[in-house]
Amino acid sequence: MTKWEKRAPLEKSIERKGSNYAVKCGWIEFKVTSSTANGFPDRFYARDGVILLVEWKRPDEEPTVQQLKRHRELREHGVTVHWVCDIEHAERLFY
């Protein structure tokens, strides 16, 4: 990639902007960290009795095999899990 080509934003940048937007829209959010639940989504969001788990990625990345497995397991138990890779998707999700 040349210095003139635009690079995709970093995951942490998308996550920060998306989380800030969610908070402005009235969601509470928590960063999820676990040493025992590999592949667990990055953040927990809640508003008006609705709970969302979100995996944040860069536009050119996909969840790992372990993450996909964990997400599938959570969905099988009725948990809503989203994979978000740009701020436009975050805005639609948290509106």
Q: How many helices, marked H, and strands, marked E, lie in the chain?
A: 3, 4
pLDDT of residue 37: 80
pLDDT tens, position by position, for the chain (95 residues)?
A: 455 456 678 899 999 999 999 999 999 999 998 778 889 999 999 999 999 999 999 998 999 999 999 999 999 999 999 999 999 999 999 99
pLDDT of residue 2: 54
